[in-house]
Chain A
Amino acid sequence: MLEAEELYRFYRSGEEETRALRGISLKVAPGEVVAISGPSGSGKSTLLSCVAGLDDPDGGIVRIAGQRISHRPEADKARLRARLVGVLFQSGNLIEHLTLAQNVELAQRVGGRRDPAHRAELLDRLGLSARAGAWPSRLSGGEAARAGLAVALANRPSLLVADEPTGELDRRSEGPVLDLIRDQARSHTAVVIASHSPAVRRMADRVVQLRDGRVA
């Protein structure tokens, strides 16, 4: 489902250069859950951005379902993402002037779908049904993180890219979230999760350990 070959990504600001990715390759099969772990600043978020086509690597190539997503016009990337990819950022996943439920609906409509049943199911499984009408700024940290996941999964993506989905969650809330992701994988979604959580690592089929922009 996902093929990333020899990804490089260097950030330059002035004289300084941060080598966030230094030749990372990653393959994820449909239905496979891969956990990316590594110390803070090791390049996990950068890798995820490149893999989801949100950022272009300075070197290397990313393919999703056989189609190249790196180095293409934004419009093409967006089209691919709409069909295939769900993204959960480390923070800032919700549009502030829309309620939680509207945020999920918006994601569906943007993807050209309308699936109220799926929407309700997602909110229910993530324990957000009671907060469906709340503005994003009125959610607790954990609620916002789960809402982000609901938005990412709204379109039944073939590839889920999630950055720290459980960073803000306690053990008990983490359980349903991981179950949901597992179920998603069972319906042939490839999953890439960046996480520190031991629970995520345990749930994953494979753990990729990053260090300084390389696979350790």
Chain B
Amino acid sequence: MLTLIWLRGLLTRRTGRLAAAAAGVAMAVALPAALGMFLASAKATMTARSVQRVAVDWQVEMQPGAATPGRLPGVSRRVDFAAVGGFEARQAGQTLTTGAGQALGLPADYTTTFPGELRLLTGTLAGPLLAQQTAANLHATPGSTVILHRPGLPDAQVRVTGIVELPEADSLFQKVGAPATAQPQAPPDNVLLLPAADWHHLFDTSPPDKVRTQFHVRLDHALPPDPAAAYTKVTGAARNLEAGLAGTGLVGDNLGAALGAAREDALYSQLLFLFLGVPGAVLAILLTATVTRSGAVRRSAEQALLRTRGASRTTFLRLALAETLAVGVTGALSGLAVAALTGWALYGSPGFGGAAGWAVAAAALGLLVACATVLPSALGSATVTAARRPVATGTRSPAWLRYGLDLWLVAAALVVFRLTSGNGYHLVLVPEGLPQISVDYWAFTGPALLWAGAGLLIWRLTRLLLGPGRPIVTRLARPLAAGLAGTVTATLARQRGPLSRTMTLAALAVAFAVSTAVFDATYRQQAQVDAELTNGADVTATQTTASERQLAAVPGVSRVEPLQHGFAYVGADLQDVYGIRPSTILSATHLQDTYFPGGTARQVVDRLARSPDALLVSQETVNDFQLHLGDMIRLRMQDGRTVPFHYAGIVTEFPTAPRDSFLVANASYLAASDTTYLIATDGTAPHLVADRLRARLGPGAKVSDVETTRRVVGSSLTAVDLTGLTAIELGYGLALAAAATGLLLILGFTERRRTFALARVLGARPRQLGAFIWTEVTLAGLGAAVLGGATGWALAQMLVTVLTGVFDPAPDHLAVPWPYLGAVTGLGLTALLAAGTVAVRAASRPPLTVLRDL
């Protein structure tokens, strides 16, 4: 009853204030809820994508002579394999032969059951099908007759009806049951696919060691959305089946492998969520706390009155909580609505997309924090007389300030940062053979400590500025406040508690926006670099006989750079070797300095240009052979030549090169046979140029472009699609910055309506009231921009360094997203201007309405 009277009064007389506070809470709830939604949806997408990418979920390989397994889960089809000694075709009197290969027997509906396994290039699927490479070797077309050399049996003939591509050849011909550490087996060069009946007709009498049988399984895809859970389920089922087969069969778990990779990606995205999202959520919570606290003076005076009347602690706690809950519940519900709308905007369906738990947790947390902020004043032990004073006069600064906690935190952040950013440090560990991946959460301590330390430090600085730094503020205020500068700073200094809180929060909001944006931009830059590294250049063409000149003539091509490729033995180790043209390579593709430890890209390339027999090798090779600059290395080439080189530097990454050891040399000296063309475009979209090249070069040539590559680059941090996360982060970063500046200032001004009204009674013109308001606005804005900007930059630097291990390759420099930073500045300025304008207008109202309505 008491509570009801109280609440009703508040709602009718303090509507605006309560609404503003509710808006703050809404923000604090919406951000974590939206992030949770992102995380849940990102994980679900990863699971779905990996499921989609896998052509055959399980390949169950039966031991020779084993009986057909009784029951397999899902849909299964029998696939038979037979070794073939070679293929032969006669074309226009010429006989073409190939090496050994495999002949597969597939049931008629195989292609419809497992559509991802093969792709028809020409002809029909109705009869025997040749793999593309084999068809090219035999110059075979649909209708051609191919001769099979059957081991232990006479040759046989089939008429080919179609040519197919086997996109999943690697997994199709995997050695089922091989340990995970084994080198992956290369798929056979020559493959013939036969209808099951034909296969049995041809190979049933083959020696048993030349044939084997697999059952291909498509599982029920109703999997848990979380990749880790899905992984556990699928691998568990596979083990279960193997146990059931009691040694008569082994499971090649393609789906499990894909989910395993997805699980790693999911962990990365969770890491990013923690690194980027948690500060935002904490900030939003701080905002709630500050917003709820903004009525502290009024609430404290009311509590003093209640206590005078003898109200027990529970009574005014109840009243304070009722007010906070009214604000909190309204805020939390609006926050959830905003989050649901965000979900709708991003994913097209309203609701929480499997993150209802998150949403509820966020709402509960928001409420909890709002309630927790009103507790201290309600539970405080100040006497009634003390609680009735509107201006805090205690000169003692908080204990953490006196003991320099902020400085300790920043120092600790730097130390931890040192430790966690050193060489050989791994954020995510994927132990061999273990189902669990582990993350070194220790790495979070650096940024977390920096956040905390920087926040407190900013607070200290603003307090200093408003305390001992008052003369500086007065001087700053001069241009705005003219004669009133002294008075204005006096009022600011006496309100320095709430004001420094506002400034700190605004600065942190800016820091959040800046660090997130810089990190995100760097991340996207690296995703591009990664794709470029994999693809080599904007567009890459191999296996073509076209000349450099012909390629350059294709519209959209600006530069063409030939890159030779071959293999060479370093000791017993066969490594890729690349031949470059040092004079031109830098203009066709982007070589980052980080690829070449011990020099910039230009220096290293110049070294190659100067000495024709220079050779760049991997760090591993340097270690294995104890190399020193200038040492001679003899390479045995694939064609049998032995060529002497001189060791001239280390290379860690190179366009199109594999991730492990490889060599780089001068093309003119290397004289290898295969040439890859790295093609830079003139700004035309790479996939368009690639299409033109494909049309120009015919089906034999392989053309790939960077855009497509970016979408398929394998498992690494940069493969996690950050769009959703960054959209949420950047959006809320903007909103937080605007709220922290605008909303808090407005609430602060509302607290001071009385001061403004009295000043107006004393003859202050609106312009002079403006002096009070604009000085505060400018101070908050400048503080936020300078302190927040600096903190944001430092944080971005730290984040990128801490996460360097997962950037592949590591970035040369941070990317600065100027448009977004411009937007933050713009919106921040707008919020500040709006807050100032609203406050000036409110302060210019007839003062009596304010004084009598207070």
Contacts and interface: CB of A to CB of B under 8 A. Distances in A.
B310 A83 contact: yes
A96 B393 CA distance: 25
A138 B851 CA distance: 10
A14 B395 CA distance: 9
B384 A137 contact: no
Contacts of B2: 106, 109-110
Interface stretch (B301-309, B337-345, B526-534): B301-309
A92 B384 contact: no
B308 A81 contact: yes
A105 B382 CA distance: 26
A52 B5 CA distance: 27
Nearest to B312: A78
B385 A98 contact: no
Contacts of B854: 96, 137
B475 interface: no
Contacts of B13: 96-97, 135
Contact of B301 (A54, A82, A92, A109): A92
A96 B306 CA distance: 12
A110 B384 contact: no
A85 interface: yes
Contact of A54 (B311, B381, B383): B383
Nearest to B851: A137
Contacts of A83: 310
A102 B308 contact: no
Nearest to A56: B383
Interface in B268-326: 301-302, 305-313, 315
A215 to B, nearest CB: 22
Contacts of B156: none
Interface in A73-120: 73-75, 78-83, 85, 87, 89, 92-99, 102, 105-107, 109-111
A3 interface: no
A49 interface: yes
B852 interface: yes
Nearest to B9: A97
Contact of A110 (B301, B311, B395): B311
B397 interface: no
Contact of A107 (B10, B301, B309, B853): B309
A79 B386 CA distance: 19
Given A110-B315, A137-B854, A13 B9 contact: no
A151 interface: yes
B347 interface: no
Task: Name, among B12, B301, B310, B853, the residue most crowded by chain A CB atoms within 10 Å (CB to CB).
Answer: B310
A78 B385 contact: no
Contacts of B393: 13
Contacts of A111: 309-310
B388 interface: yes
A107 B307 CA distance: 10
A96 B1 CA distance: 18
Interface in B795-854: 852-854
Contacts of A212: none
Contacts of B9: 95, 97-99, 102
Contacts of B5: 98, 102, 105-106
Interface in B368-386: 381-386
Contacts of A14: 395
Given A97-B14, A106-B2, A137-B854, A55 B383 contact: yes
A177 to B, nearest CB: 20
B6 interface: yes
A96 to B, nearest CB: 7
A135 B14 CA distance: 13
A79 B310 contact: yes
Interface residues of B, number: 33
B383 A74 contact: yes
Contacts of A97: 9-10, 12-14
A78 B852 contact: no
A89 B393 CA distance: 22
A49 B304 CA distance: 12
Given A73-B381, A92-B388, A110 B310 contact: yes
Contact of B853 (A81, A137, A151): A137
A83 B315 CA distance: 15
Interface residues of A, number: 39
Contacts of B306: 95, 106, 110
A109 to B, nearest CB: 5
Contacts of B386: 55
Given A98-B6, A110-B306, A79 B1 contact: no
Contacts of B383: 54-56, 74
Interface string B103-135: 000000000000000000000000000000000
B846 to A, nearest CB: 14
Contacts of A137: 852-854
A95 B305 contact: yes
Contacts of A95: 9, 302, 305-306
A81 B852 contact: no
A111 B2 CA distance: 11
B305 A93 contact: yes
A55 B389 CA distance: 12
A82 B853 contact: no
Contacts of A151: 309
B382 to A, nearest CB: 8
B6 A85 contact: no
Nearest to B306: A110
Contacts of A105: 5
Contacts of B1: 109
A137 B848 CA distance: 11
B3 to A, nearest CB: 10
A109 B381 CA distance: 23
A137 B388 CA distance: 18
Contacts of B311: 78, 82, 110
A78 B13 CA distance: 27
A160 to B, nearest CB: 13
Nearest to B301: A92
B302 A78 contact: no
Nearest to A85: B310
A75 B384 contact: no
A75 B302 contact: no
A55 B12 contact: no
Contacts of B14: 97
A52 B2 CA distance: 24
Contacts of A98: 5-6, 9
Contacts of B305: 92-95
Contacts of B313: 74-75, 78
Nearest to B310: A82
B385 A49 contact: yes
Contacts of B395: 14
B445 to A, nearest CB: 40
Nearest to A105: B5
A78 B307 contact: yes
Contacts of B301: 92
A105 B306 CA distance: 12
Contacts of A155: 309-310
A80 B14 CA distance: 32
Given A110-B2, A137-B853, A75 B385 contact: no
B298 to A, nearest CB: 8
Given A98-B5, A106-B5, A74 B381 contact: yes
A97 B14 CA distance: 8
Interface string B4-18: 011001101110000
B309 A106 contact: yes
Contacts of A135: 13
10 contacts: A54-B384, A74-B382, A78-B312, A81-B308, A95-B9, A102-B5, A106-B2, A106-B309, A109-B2, A110-B2
Interface of B: 1-2, 5-6, 9-10, 12-14, 301-302, 305-313, 315, 381-386, 388, 393, 395, 852-854
Among all A-B residue pairs, the 6 with the closest Cβ atoms: A82-B310, A97-B13, A97-B9, A81-B310, A54-B384, A55-B385
